[in-house]
């Protein structure tokens, strides 16, 4: 057992001492990459708060040897509404820093992710608050003391969770868009930096002329028979409903037909240090 303890099932692990720092890389498009060990095999994984479920590539899965496949499957949906029927596998453990997760569930994706071996989702952090520090290129596994200190110094914002049968976990929060609409958006670190997407059904209410907007079709990265229409336009302002000083302006935005959420954004516009506390259903922004 490592110093930080082991998470078994839904039990909460209490960390003591200093918060554990995990080095991260921030790619050219804003993807957060870190080293993770799955069944004692080291790999490079994207921290993806919008993935829902942990993903490993088929190539990486072959390095693990035997994985226990569950009899059932999980049907998830991409934000565009594309259905994905996923086989589920149980691995012995996933190690992130000094956190050791016992018997986590993953799915295997037969896709080329370049030099990345998979995606780490929020399911790994059900019981462990963590902080992404973009400036110092670190992810901290927070202690109670460090969490309290961050709360004293930063802005606390509520988040809403979509916890699907204990298999998939995503988070959302409410934003004001152009001071006209209050919408609930998916916070998706896997989208990369400066990504803003909204349902095309809101274009008229937001003062966007669909006939004047640049538009294009884009095929799904997983199924080339599926494609979606994108409208590109600028929005004047997006701000957090619970902390209006956290905002961004004049952002290039994609409006999508068929988006199953009100919207999706990356997380870099929220601040240089972003604490995600799933147990308490909140973020702390510094």
The beta-carbon contacts of 168-172 under 8 Å, at least 24 apart in sequence, are 168/52, 168/53, 168/74, 168/76, 168/121, 168/123, 169/52, 169/121, 169/122, 169/123, 169/126, 169/278, 170/49, 170/50, 170/52, 170/122, 171/49, 171/122, 171/276, 171/278, 172/261
Q: Hey, what are 195's tokens?
A: 């990504």
In the DSSP assignment, the letter for residue 35 is E
* Nearest CA-CA partner of 255 in 186, 196, 200, 185: 200
| Alpha carbons 231 and 69: distance in angstroms, whole number | 41
φ, ψ of residue 60 to 5 degrees: the values are -70, -40
Asked whether the beta carbons of 52 and 264 are under 8 A apart, the reply is no
CB atoms within 10 A of CB 11: 10
Distance spanning both ends of the chain, measured CA to CA:
32
Q: What pLDDT is recorded for position 208?
A: 92
Residue 115 CB burial class (10 angstroms; 0-12, 13-18, ≥19): exposed
Q: For 210-245, give the DSSP string.
A: TTTSEEEEEE-SS-TT-EEEEEEEEEEEEEETTEEE
Q: pLDDT tens digit string along 109-130?
A: 988 888 999 999 999 999 999 9
Second CATH level (architecture) for the domain 157-274: Beta Barrel (2.40)
Q: Which parts of 108-164 fold into alpha helices (H)?
A: 144-153
How far apart (Å, rounded) are the C-alpha atoms in residues 212 and 152? 46
Is-same-fold flag (6-153; 157-274)? yes
Question: Where on the phi/psi map is residue 44: left (φ > 0), alpha (ψ -120 to 50), or beta?
Answer: beta
In this prediction, residue 30 carries a pLDDT of 95
- The 10s digit of each residue's pLDDT in 136-179 is 999 999 999 999 999 999 999 999 999 999 999 999 999 999 99
Q: What residues does each domain of the chain span?
A: 6-153, 157-274
Distance CA 262, CA 174 (A): 10
Of 68, 86, 262, 16, nearest to 160 by C-alpha is 262
114 by DSSP, 3-state: which?
A: coil
Buried b (16+ CB within 10 A) or exposed e, 16-38: eeebbbbebeeeeebbbbbbbeb
Give the rounded distance of the alpha carbon of 101 from its chain centre. Answer: 18
Say what the pLDDT of residue 84 is. Answer: 83
Residue ranges in the chain modelled with pLDDT below 70: 1-17, 219-226
CATH tag, 6-153: 2.40.70.10
């Amino acid at each position: 057992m490592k110093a930080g303890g082991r998470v078994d099932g839904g039990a909460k692990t209490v960390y003591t001492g200093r918060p554990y720092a995990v080095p991260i890389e921030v790619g050219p498009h804003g993807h957060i990459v870190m080293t993770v060990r799955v069944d004692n095999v080291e790999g490079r994984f994207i921290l993806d708060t919008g993935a829902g479920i942990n993903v490993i590539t088929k190539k990486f899965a072959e390095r693990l040897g035997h994985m226990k496949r569950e009899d059932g499957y999980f049907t998830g949906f991409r934000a565009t509404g594309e259905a994905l029927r996923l086989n589920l596998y149980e691995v012995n453990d996933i190690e992130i820093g000094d956190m050791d997760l016992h018997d986590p569930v993953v799915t295997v994706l037969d896709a080329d992710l370049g030099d990345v071996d998979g995606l780490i989702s929020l399911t790994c952090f059900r019981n462990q608050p963590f902080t992404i520090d973009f400036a110092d290129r670190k992810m901290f596994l927070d202690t109670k003391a460090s969490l309290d200190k961050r709360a004293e110094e930063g802005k606390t914002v509520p988040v809403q969770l979509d916890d699907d049968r204990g298999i998939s976990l995503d988070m959302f929060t409410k934003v004001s868009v152009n001071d006209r609409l209050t919408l609930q958006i998916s916070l998706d670190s896997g989208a990369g930096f400066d990504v803003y997407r909204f349902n095309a059904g809101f274009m008229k209410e937001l003062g966007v002329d669909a006939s004047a907007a640049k538009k294009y079709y884009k095929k799904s990265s997983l199924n080339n028979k599926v494609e979606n229409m994108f409208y590109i336009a600028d929005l004047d302002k997006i701000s957090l409903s619970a902390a209006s000083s956290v905002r961004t302006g004049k952002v290039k935005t994609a409006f999508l037909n068929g988006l199953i959420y009100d919207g999706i954004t990356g997380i870099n516009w929220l601040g240089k240090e972003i604490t995600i506390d799933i147990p308490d259903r909140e973020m702390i922004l510094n």
